[in-house]
Chain A
Amino acid sequence: MKQNTGLSRALRRRETRAGYLFMLPSLFFFITFVIVPMFMCVYTSFFDSNMGKDAQDVFIGLGNYKELFQDQIFLGALRNTFVIVIVSVPTVLVFSLWIANAIYNMRPGLTSLFRIVFYLPVVTGSVAVTVVWKWMYNNYYGIFNYLLKNAGVIDKNINWLGDSRFALWAIIIILFTTSVGQPIVLYVSALGNVDQSLVEAAQVDGATRNQVFWKIKWPQIMPTTLYILIITTINSFQCFALIQLLTSGGPNHSTDTVMYYIYYTAFKLYRYGYGNAMGVVLMLVIAALSALQFKLGRSKE
């Protein structure tokens, strides 16, 4: 880092010392509890290692990675994760943009009321949200079976979470309700910052509602869209609590996600090195996707 601010050398030394002193408490926690485990994750992924107290780690090179791509359950989990991402990211984006566009220019009290409502499922916490959905999906006492049967859509109770045809979709619906809160908040604030004089000028020139939206607002909220794409992708990849609490990956691993399978491998099978190898693959996939989305978004601008 070259600085041309004309700081004297003594002053610069003083700045450096003070800078590191200010950084010290934060760096301690950051290095010990984020950077070190990150390296450990990569390092142990080359070992056959388990969670036992005095078990020996055996170096096996890329063995875990080789096994990974022949592991049908892992490949299934990867497929499920991609299904979740591919379904939920676009729907979350479109839905939250529509809601935000509808509510951002209401009266301030109303806007913040709706913002609270759509954020509620996030704040309520994964456990409380999941247990109530589990009840609603229940085979005998669930409200969904009751409503659908009364409406004549189904004639027999469906075991939503126990049937591999429906379980993943049932989970995607819950994930959707807990994923739109943050994008709506972001879009409301981004739409509020759109240059109003441009909008008015366009309206004076007779632009339709659609034209104003796509030609003026959309380009201006592009950075927000990009950010939402990235966080929603990451969140969908990390879908874990719902799976663990609702189906434990069942029936017969049909709802495993990568994150859940990592947990399962590390804490149910105690295969620590293997779990970390999956973690590394997940990190790489997410990093690649984020980079890709970032690049696409930047080139469009």
Chain B
Amino acid sequence: MKDKRSTAYRIFVLIVVILIALLFTFPLYWIVTGAFKTAKDINATTPSWWPSEWTLRNFQTLFSKLTAPLWQISLPFSQYFTENGEAIVVSTGPSVPAAIRWMLNTVWMAVASMLLTCFTAALAGYALAKKRFTGRGLLFTLIVCAMALPKQVILIPLIREMSTLNLYNTLSAVIYPIVGWPFGVFLIKQFAEGIPGEIIEAARIDGAGEWKTFRTIVFPMIKPGVGALAIFTFISSWNDYFMQLIMLSSTQQLTISLGIAKMQAENSTDFGLIMAGAAFAALPIIIVFIIFQKYFTRGITMGAVKG
């Protein structure tokens, strides 16, 4: 008797969850189908649930509207020696659709943030967890306090700092604050605390130096944590719209999110074009997320463990 009711209840819950899940996927469905709809479908007062005719027009417009050089390589630090504070460009790539350049910028920004964050956080998290140094408690308190404050508040003063450093309107201005954000250090510290002290002690007795101990003993043990941090940083920096918005301005420096926002502002009623842009921007990161979702989930849940 009780089992039967329980099964019926479970099926009811499953159906409700499936319905809600469908609602949650609808915006994405609407982006993807919208990207392939003709102007006639889009501007009809009766929406077509499925494109009546598939078209690539929207993508053609997306890739022909604006152009930008594929790459610009400048001399490192040269912005500090020129009159106007702009870097000296040594190599400029061929002109390509701006959306391609935006995508490259975004990938570069996310990968650089990820690598730098993982490197600095792995070292610092290990030190905070395992090194008994003076001032450790104070540093850790500072890190936890900084994490509790709204990140966006510091972006306004950051603008001025970045212009003083001649980094405004460069991808570095977006990357460095992401690296500085102490969440990663906190995450790795939680993870490194699980390393038994005896192993590190044994390595020291065997005569291994600090760096060698880190590389050969510690790093392999915190690798799962670093992996989780990597995917977490990649996805969150990709989607950090506010930071990108205030730091980047010229067409060739935009990220894909900013580029789509810009197109939206300039062609606010061409929904087909905007959906094509949204699909182009969202699909790569969704694929990355689905592939690595196990690690990503681990990153989120590990950060929640209270220290």
Contacts and interface: CB of A to CB of B under 8 A. Distances in A.
A283 interface: yes
- For chain A, what secondary structure do more than half of its interface residues adopt (helix, strand, loop), or is it mixed? helix
A125 B146 contact: no
B301 A186 contact: yes
A43 to B, nearest CB: 9
Listed residue (B14, B34, B133, B294) with the most chain A CB atoms within 10 angstroms of its CB: B133
Contact of B31 (A1, A117, A128, A245): A128
A189 interface: yes
Contact of B301 (A122, A189, A280, A287): A189
B45 A128 contact: no
A267 B238 contact: no
Given A32-B176, A133-B27, A141-B42, A125 B241 contact: yes
Contact of A18 (B20, B210, B242, B271): B210
Interface stretch (A19-27, A67-75, A83-91, A163-171): A19-27
Given A1-B137, A262-B156, A267-B246, A146 B45 contact: yes
B32 to A, nearest CB: 10
Contact of A234 (B21, B150, B180, B258): B150
Contact of B161 (A37, A143, A267): A37
Contacts of A26: 120-121, 123-124, 182, 185
Contact of B264 (A189, A245, A282): A245
Contact of B157 (A37, A238, A286): A37
B271 A115 contact: no
A224 B182 CA distance: 21
Contact of A126 (B241, B279, B301): B241
Given A33-B158, A116-B293, A135 B131 contact: no
Nearest to A235: B150
A220 interface: no
Contacts of B120: 25-26, 29
Interface residues of B, number: 93
Nearest to A29: B180
Interface string B132-162: 1111110100110010111111111111110
Contacts of B246: 263, 267
30 contacts: A1-B137, A5-B132, A20-B133, A25-B124, A26-B123, A29-B176, A33-B161, A38-B154, A38-B157, A44-B157, A118-B21, A119-B289, A123-B235, A123-B289, A124-B28, A124-B282, A124-B285, A124-B286, A128-B31, A131-B261, A135-B271, A186-B300, A223-B306, A224-B304, A230-B148, A234-B150, A240-B242, A262-B156, A279-B156, A283-B150
Interface of B: 13-14, 16-17, 20-21, 24-25, 27-28, 30-31, 34, 42-47, 116, 119-121, 123-124, 126-128, 131-137, 139, 142-143, 146, 148-161, 176-177, 179-182, 185, 210, 214, 235, 238-239, 241-242, 245-246, 257-258, 260-261, 264, 271, 274-275, 277-279, 281-282, 285-286, 289-290, 293-294, 297, 300-301, 304, 306
Given A103-B17, A263-B246, 5 more contacts: A16-B133, A27-B139, A120-B24, A143-B30, A234-B150
